[in-house]
Structure 1
Amino acid sequence: MTTSCLELHILQTYPSSRLNRGEDGSAKSIYFGGSPRLRISSQAQKRAERHHPHLRFGTPQGVRTKQPQDVILQVLTETNADLVKLEQTPHVIRTALSALYGEYDDKNRLKTPVFLGDDELHRIAALLAVHLGRVTSIQDDRERTAAALLLLRDLRSGTASPDLALYGRFVASQDGWDIEAATSYTHAISTHRANNVTDFFTAVDDLTGDSLHLGQMDISAPTMYRTAVLDISQLQRNLPGGDVQTVIRMWATRAVSSTPNGGRHGTFASTQPEYVLLVVRRGGQPLTYAPAFEQAVYRDQHRSIAQVSAERLEDYARRLPLLYGQNGQVSAQRVTLLTLPVPEHDSIETASSLTAALDVALKELQRE
């Protein structure tokens, strides 16, 4: 089967912010092309997408947790509250779950967090509800533990949760429970040299006017480039029978519109991208165009950093196929707030909106 993918190449400018910090509280960074750049990790971007306040997939949803037993107990309480009240029930549930997701620590938490879909949690609860009473009634501790470990042997991996199908799952301690992610992300990098500054701040006593606290933090105002790729074939495998078209549209909208919310109360920085390039490939290798910015971008008298970055990106995207062929590319569309120079015979089309660009991309993907 031919693999199809949708690539999103995004340029976005943020005001003064600290969207993603490292352990020392400073903005994440990296050297690229010999110059320091600001960075936003792919993990921060994906979490912003999963928890977007206005763009939800609905149910079933995924949840990442070290305490799945709490959700299981809540579900079971709705069907058999008396069973949940038994002294042995919580321990039996944890033992059963450990057979799937690994060991628990002394705080009754999984040693490694697990990403579960609502549907999977309800399937677990349904299996437990059938046999839990029998297992909890076993008096011998060893026999009860052995029986608990067998409770979920008939459970099969898989999900109907779109976000779990998109972002995948890796269970380090157990075999057979991984879900291959349908998405791939770069870490966002600034197209220009890092522009961190140190912001000193203080809290003031409202009654006396005295300074109560003095602190500092690094802030920046970058233009960032990032790539997000959706493997359509993998998504179809992860969601057999699901509404894949709706999931693709919602994923792309969230990937474009989501902003990591680090320091959001003091440095609100939610913006929309100035530029998005949507590329559909069929049978080719997905690509990032990050090498377009190996040489740091500088603004000039008439063009902003975002403008220069977009022109640099498009020049790179046009020249690459001349050297290596189309690499499966069947369409490329820009959605932009910028006014860009366009060659007479351009391989990149201009879409009037993100919705219109997705309409075209989905039609291309349906031709497979």
Structure 2
Amino acid sequence: MSRFIQIHSLTSYPPANLNRDDLGRPKTAVMGGVERLRVSSQSLKRHWRTSDLFQEALSDHLGTRTRDIGEHVCKRLVEKGIAEKKAREWSADIAKVFGSVEKDKVTTQQLVFVSPEEWDAINALADQLAQENRGPEKEEFKLLRKNAAAADIALFGRMLADAPSFNVEAACQVAHAISVHGVVVEDDYFTAVDDLNAEHEDRGAAHIGETSFAAALFYGYVCIDRESLIKNLDGNTELANKAIAALVEAIARVSPKGKQNSFGSFAYASYMMIERGNQQPRSLSAAFLAPIKEKDYLHASVDKLEQQAEFFDKVYGKCADSRVSFNASTGHGSLNDVIALAVQD
């Protein structure tokens, strides 16, 4: 079985602000001495994981990231007739299984990735406590699962500071998407007009503002350790393949949601290449250390990407056992082709 699945993509976005920094401007990074547009891996994973596509493909096998386990339990207990004071006390005890809880609160201090099986265990315990009108006992706190059947937890990992034995090592590594060329972030000056301002003495704009944006062709890189993914899913190869297929399709189709109402910058990947093999993974970002300057960014980037893969093969030996790609600008290949290679046993 080929262990590593590497996914390389090129996606073009028109003017957009997909992923903002603390000042509200598009995130950037300097690469090859030139400022590039950037979308963080955290943003990408969040939008892939919560997309309709991913949710529908893996509906019964997805976790929930939340601090509100205790709030959920408390509400459930109150609905079943437990006094709120008792409900909050018991729900705080249950929430502490997953993370630290401050005094007089029921929410955990950190986000917790909870699997469907763990939710079932939480709900079953809450129902039992309500039925028996009593608080939880120590032996009933075994709510966590080592190999939970949650595809997103298996892919992206889980870290529980207060229960490290239940941490899950991510089977998928995601690079920050980076523009293949230099960018200049621009500012859009805009106004909003009051529809009834004809009745006002001052007929000027009711609101004035600025928003930042930039356009770019992004290189994205993702590596999946299929062996680790199957292990994280307790040997469920079928679910692992479903998760891989859903992730590849999400990478190709799903856009970050930042400022979409203002820019409508939804995009599909224009190019994608999948590599399979047991060889040590490597990004092809070196292809873009020198920023693309040709007018046809996409054509030049595809050439650079494929050339870099070829040169790595010449220097290091074969870096992958098999490769498949599609190019939406030429009509070469298809998304189904790359998914078929990705899920091949």
Task: Indicate the residue corresponding to 1:263 in structure 2.
Answer: 259
- Answering whether residue 305 of structure 2 is matched by residue 313 of structure 1, we say yes
- Answering whether residue 158 of structure 2 is matched by residue 169 of structure 1, we say yes
Distance in 2 of aligned mates of 1:168 and 1:86 = 34
- In structure 2, give the amino acid aligned to 1:62: G
Counterparts of 1:180-329 in structure 2, within 5 Å, are: 180-208=169-197, 209-242=203-236, 243=238, 244-282=240-278, 284-300=279-295, 304-327=296-319, 329=320
- In structure 2, give the amino acid aligned to 1:227: Y
- Deviation sequence 1:243-272 (CA, Å, 0-9, x none): 222222112111221111000111111111
Distance apart, 1:156 and its partner CA: 3.7
- Answering whether residue 80 of structure 2 is matched by residue 58 of structure 1, we say no
Task: Indicate the residue corresponding to 1:27 in structure 2.
Answer: 26
Task: Indicate the residue corresponding to 2:322 in structure 1.
Answer: 331
- In structure 2, give the amino acid aligned to 1:34: G
Task: Indicate the residue corresponding to 1:68 in structure 2.
Answer: 69
1:16, 1:269 within 8 Å by CA — same for their partners in 2? yes
Distance apart, 1:185 and its partner CA: 0.5
Distance apart, 1:72 and its partner CA: 3.3
Residue 19 of structure 1 aligns to a residue whose secondary structure is coil
Distance in 2 of aligned mates of 1:280 and 1:174 = 34
Moved more, 67-76 or 46-55: 67-76
Distance apart, 1:155 and its partner CA: 4.5
Distance apart, 1:362 and its partner CA: 2.8
Distance in 2 of aligned mates of 1:107 and 1:299 = 58
Compute the RMSD of aligned alpha carbons.
2.3
Q: Which runs of 5+ in 2 are unaligned?
A: 198-202
Distance in 2 of aligned mates of 1:155 and 1:133 = 22
Distance apart, 1:307 and its partner CA: 1.2
Task: Indicate the residue corresponding to 1:10 in structure 2.
Answer: 9
Distance in 2 of aligned mates of 1:22 and 1:180 = 28
Distance in 1 of aligned mates of 2:2 and 2:276 = 11
Residue 141 of structure 2 aligns to a residue whose secondary structure is coil
1:165, 1:182 within 8 Å by CA — same for their partners in 2? yes
Residue 99 of structure 1 aligns to a residue whose secondary structure is coil
Match of 1:116 among 114, 117, 133: 114
Match of 1:126 among 124, 127, 146: 124
**Quick one: percent identity of the two aligned structures?**
25
Task: Indicate the residue corresponding to 2:200 in structure 1.
Answer: none
Distance in 1 of aligned mates of 2:33 and 2:132 = 65
Distance apart, 1:85 and its partner CA: 4.3
Q: Which runs of 5+ in 1 are unaligned?
A: 138-146, 341-349
Distance in 1 of aligned mates of 2:104 and 2:196 = 47
1:124, 1:152 within 8 Å by CA — same for their partners in 2? no
Task: Indicate the residue corresponding to 1:347 in structure 2.
Answer: none
- TM value normalised by structure 1: 0.84
